[in-house]
Amino acid sequence: MAVIGTFGSYTAARLGIYASQASLNVTGNNIANINTRGYTRQRMDLVSLYSNGSIRYANSFNVNIGYGVLTDGVSQLRDPFLDIRYRDENANVGAYETRLECLQYLSHILDEVGDGNGDFGVLEGQFNDFLQQLQNLNIRVGSVEYDTTVRGSAEIITQLFNSYAEKLEKTQDDQLKTLKEDVGSVNKILTQIRDLNVQIRDAGIYGDKALELRDQRNVLIDDLSAYVKINVHYDMEKIDEFSSVERINIDIADSGTPPIRLVQGIYAGQLDMPEETLARNPEYDPESKKGMQYIGIGTDRNAVPPKIVLTDNPREAIIAPDGTPLENNLTNREALEGAGKVDPDTVYDPAASEGMKYLDAAGNPTDDPAQAATVNNAKEKADDNRLWMQVKALVDEKGRYMRDENGREITEDVDLYDNDLYGSLQARREFLTEEGEFASKDDIAFDKDALKKRGIPYYRKSLDALARKFADIFNEANTGPDGKPILLGYETEIVDGIKQYKTANGCDLGSITGIVNGVDLSKYQKEQKWVDLSSLPPDVQVAIKRVQEEHLASDADVAGAKGHGYPITGGGVLFSNSGDGDDPTNITAANISIAKKWSNGEVRVLNTKKVDSLNHSTANDNIAHMINLMGTKFDYMPKDTVADADSDKRYFNGTFQERLADINNILAVDQQGTAILYNGYTKNALSLENSRQSVAGVDLNDEATSMMQFQKSYSAACQLMTTLDAMLEKLINGTIR
C-alpha cells in the first residue's frame, strides 16, 4: 500500500464526506419508507480505498496508509432463510384461513342450534312438531282436520330441506366464482412478477441492483405464497460470453422432479381452469415405465457419465442424429437393460392403461387428446365439476415461448392433479369438490384421502340422504309392499263361485244396480278383474268412488249399514320428487315435496294396513307405527344416495334427528379443528414475520443511531478537511516567510 501524499489527504477527507453524506441519504430513505409495505431496510456498503502498486522510493521509515473510503453500492438487509420459512407458513395460513371461511359459510346455513322453538334447531324442532301431529292424529283416527295438520307439518319439513339445499347450492356457486377470481389474482401476480423481472434484469445488465423493484417483487411473492405453496430459488442467467445476471425461479412446491415451474426469469406461466376439460384417466401413473417411450438425460445434464432416464415427454428425449427423438420399445428395453431393471412391467407398452392420460367417450383409456371425452370442469350450476387446473406454457411479455437448452420452444401445458396444489387455491377447490364418504372409486384414484375430506358436496349429499330416508320410510309406511295404495275400501267374497266386492263397512257392491255418473255398474258386479280400482277405466273408478262415498257417509243407511264419517282411502305416496306428481324416486333435499294426491286430499295418512270390514276405520296401528319410526334407528349407506360411491360401509346408524345432529356435529368438529390449526399457523407466521422485520424492517431507534453516527462522521470529515487546509496553509505560507 502506498504512502498517502500531501494532497492525497484531501482526497481521503473528501471521500469521507461523500461516504457520510451517502450514508445519511440511505438513512433518510429508510426513515421515509418506514410505512411502505414490503420495503427492505437498506445499507450503504463502504469499502476502504487502497492501492496494490509498489512504492518506487519506499524505505523502512514509510508507513502504509489507505486512501480513504469508497461507496461500493447499496444493499438490503434481508435473510433468505426467513423468507423461505415465512412463505411456507403463509401457505398454511392461506389454506386454513380459506377453509375456515368456507366452513363458517356452512355453519350459517346448517348450524341451527337454538334457532327454533325452545333449545331446538329449526329442522329438529319441525321433526318434533311432525311427531306431535302424528300423536294427535293417533287419538283422533279418521279426522280430516288432524290429517291436514300432519300434512302441514310435513310440508314445512320439505320446505326447510328445500331451503337448506338452495342455500348450499348458492354458496357453492358463490365459492366457484370466488375460486375463479382467485385464479385470476394468481395470474395477475405471475404477470406482474414477470414484468418486474424484465425491469430488474435490464437494470442488472447495467449494474443497477434495482432494490425498490425487488421489494415490489418480494411483496408479490409473499402474496402468491398464500394462494400456492411455492419454492423460490435464484441462479445466474448468461447474457453473453462474458456477463450474466441473477435470475429468479418460482416452482410449485412438492410437484415432482423436475418441479412444475411458474416463473423462470422473464418467462411466466398462467393457471387455466376451463369450464370443460378432457376426461382424465384415474389409472394414469406419470411414474409408470409402461407409459414412457423416450430416453432422456436426468436433470443433471452435466453429470459424467450422464444419467439415462425414461420419460414420456418428447421434449426431454435424446435427439437422434437425424433430429428425431429416440422412441420405441427396443430403445426403452435397451436403456432398462443397461440399468439392470428389465421386467415386463417396466417396458414401454402403448396399450398400457396406466400410461394413458385420458378417457374416451366410452370410458376407455387413450393417450390421444383428440379422442378424449370432455367433462364439466368449472361450469356454473353443474354438480359434477372436477375443478382441474393447468399451468400454461411459460411465455415472455411478448408471448414468445421459453426455449430449452436445445433451442426448442417449450409449448406443453402441464396438468395439475388433485394434490399438486397447496394453499388457498387448493383449500377452496377441495371445499367445492370433496364428497367424504360419498366419494367414488375415481375420486379415490385421483386422491387417496378423498374419503376423509368433506366439502359442500358432502353436506349436500348428507342432507339428500336424510331427506330421501325420511321420505322413503314414510312412503313405505303409507303404502303396500309394492308401493301402491292398500284397497281397504273393498273386500272379496266367493258366493256361488263368483267374487263379490264389498265396501269396508260391509255394503255389498254386488247389490247396487243402476247407472252412476253415466256408467252402468251392473256389468261390473261379477267382473273377475275388479280387484284394484286402478285396473278399471277412469270413468268406472269415479263412479265406484261415488258409490263408496255414499255408502260411507254418516247419514247413509244402505243395506242396514251406517257410515263412518268419511271415505277410507287406501293410503298412498306421501312424499315425491315434485309437488306436481307422485313419483317417490330420486328424492333429494332440493326436490322433496308433498305428493300431489296427499296435497289435494286423495291420499291420507293410512291408519291401518289390516283389512277388516267392520273395525279398520278406527284402527290406529299404522299411525302408531309411524310414531315409532320417528324414534327408530336406520342405517345410512353411501350407495343409497350416490350410486357410484366406492364405500360399502355404513357411515351412520340413528334416528332422523340423530342424523341431523351428526351432520351439525361433524361440521362443528371440522370447524373447531380448522380454527385451532389456523390460529397456530397464524401465530407461527406472525412470529416469522416479526423475525423478518427485525432484520429487514426499518426501526426508528436504529435509524436515529445511524443518523447521529453518520452526522458525526460527516462533521469529522469536514473538520479533517479544515485541519488539512490549515496545515497546508501553514506549511506553504510559513515556509515562504
Angle between helices 144-205 and 456-477 (to 10 degrees): 170
Section 476-493 average pLDDT: 65
Nearest to 286 by CA among 377, 337, 233, 355: 355
203-219: average pLDDT: 92
Phi, psi torsion values for 277, nearest 5 degrees: -145, 170
280 and 396 fall within a common domain: yes
Which of 397, 423, 449 terminates a domain? The answer is: 423
Residues 69 and 187 in one domain: no
| pLDDT tens digit sequence for 607-651 | 887 754 444 556 788 889 999 999 999 999 999 999 888 888 899
Which among 47, 22, 13, 20 is positioned nearest to 717, based on CA atoms?
A: 13
The mean-pLDDT minimum among 15-19, 80-84, 546-550 falls in 546-550
Task: Indicate whether 573 belongs to any domain.
Answer: no
- Which of 287-291, 370-374, 559-563, 591-595 bottoms out in mean pLDDT, i.e. has the lowest? 559-563
CA distances to 67, 327, 630 from 141, rounded to whole Å, are 113, 82, 19
CA–CA separation, 13 vs 721, rounded Å? Answer: 6
Same domain, 258 and 371: yes
Q: For residue 553, what pLDDT is reported?
A: 43
Element (H, E) at 103: helix 80-110
How confident is the model at residue 262, as a pLDDT?
A: 96
**Amino acid residing at 266:** I
pLDDT at site 116:
45
Q: Is it the case that residue 406 has pLDDT exceeding 80? A: no
Distance CA 271, CA 191 (A): 11
Residue length, the chain? 737
430 assigned to some structural domain: no
> Does residue 233 share a domain with residue 355?
yes
Could you write out the DSSP letters of every residue in 278-294? EPBPTT--TT-GGG--E
Residue 244: phi and psi, rounded to 5, are: -150, 160
For 19, phi then psi, to 5°, come to: -65, -45
CB atoms within 10 A of CB 114: 12
User: 382, 447, 383: which is closest to 417 by C-alpha?
Assistant: 447
* 418-424-426 Cα angle (round to 5): 5
Cα separations (Å) of 491 from 20, 412, 480? 114, 76, 16
First-to-last C-alpha distance (Å) of the chain: 35
Among 423, 450, 484, identify where a domain stops: 423
Q: Taking the CB of residue 612, how many other CB atoms lie within 10 A of it?
A: 13
| The pLDDT of residue 138 is above 80 | yes
34-43, 440-449, 566-575 — which is least confidently predicted? 566-575
- Categorize the per-residue pLDDT at 61 as very low, low, confident or very high, splitting at 50, 70 and 90: low
The single-letter code of the amino acid at 429 is: R
Grid cell 415405465 in the structure block, residue:
289
Give the residue numbers spanning the domain of 47: 8-77+698-736
Question: Can you give the pLDDT at residue 519?
Answer: 64
Q: What whole-number distance in Å separates Cα of residue 651 and Cα of residue 715? A: 81
pTM as predicted? 0.82
Could you count the other beta carbons within 10 Å of the beta carbon of residue 547? 18
Would residue 365 count as lying in a domain?
Answer: yes
- Find all residues with CB under 8 Å of 430, minimum gap 6, and list them: 99, 453, 455
Residues 270 and 394 in one domain: yes
- 46 in a domain, yes or no? yes
Q: Answer whether residue 535 is part of any domain.
A: no
**Residue scoring higher pLDDT (396 or 567):** 396
Q: By the 8 A CB rule, do 358 and 278 touch?
A: yes
CB neighbours of 350 closer than 8 A, spacing ≥ 6? 293, 367
Let me know if residue 362 belongs to a domain. Answer: yes
Phi–psi pair at 140, nearest 5 degrees: -135, 55
Is the separation of the CB atoms in 374 and 385 below 8 Å?
no
* 423, 455, 475 - which closes a domain: 423
pLDDT at 484 over 80: no
567 neighbors 552 (Cβ within 8 angstroms): yes
Q: Which residue has the higher pLDDT, 344 or 699?
A: 699
Instruction: Tell me the backbone φ, ψ of residue 272, rounded to 5 degrees.
Output: -130, 130
Mean pLDDT over each residue of the chain, to the nearest integer:
83
Q: Residue 144: is its pLDDT beyond 90?
A: no
Instruction: Give the integer Cα–Cα distance in Å for 101 and 671.
Output: 9
| 641, part of any domain | no
pLDDT of the residue at 11: 85
C-alpha span between 605 and 626 (Å, rounded): 10
Looking at the structure, tell me whether residues 71 and 192 fall in a common domain. Answer: no
pLDDT band for position 241 (cuts 50, 70, 90): confident
The single-letter code of the amino acid at 275 is: E
Query: Comparing 39-48, 78-87, 139-148, 294-303, which segment has the lowest mean pLDDT?
Result: 294-303
Spell out a b/e string for 344-367, using b for 16 or more CB atoms within 10 Å of the CB, else e.
eebbbbeebbbbbbbbbeeeebbb
Pair 68, 207 in one domain: no
Q: Which three cell numbers stand for residue 112?
A: 341451527
CB 311 within 8 A of CB 317: yes
Residue 342 belongs to some domain of the structure: yes
Question: Grid coordinates representing 212?
Answer: 425498490
- HSE-up of residue 427 (Cα within 13 Å, Cβ side): 22
> How far apart are the C-alpha atoms of 713 and 587, rounded to whole Å?
84
Looking at the structure, do residues 71 and 198 belong to the same domain, yes or no? no
8 A C-beta contact, residue 724 and residue 9? yes
Q: What is the pLDDT of residues 351-376, one digit of tens each?
A: 888 889 999 999 999 988 999 999 99
> How many whole angstroms separate alpha carbon 209 and alpha carbon 206?
9
* Same structural domain, 73 and 186: no
User: In total, how many domains does the chain have?
Assistant: 2
Q: State the CB neighbour count (10 A cutoff) for residue 632.
A: 11
Is the same domain home to 320 and 198?
A: yes
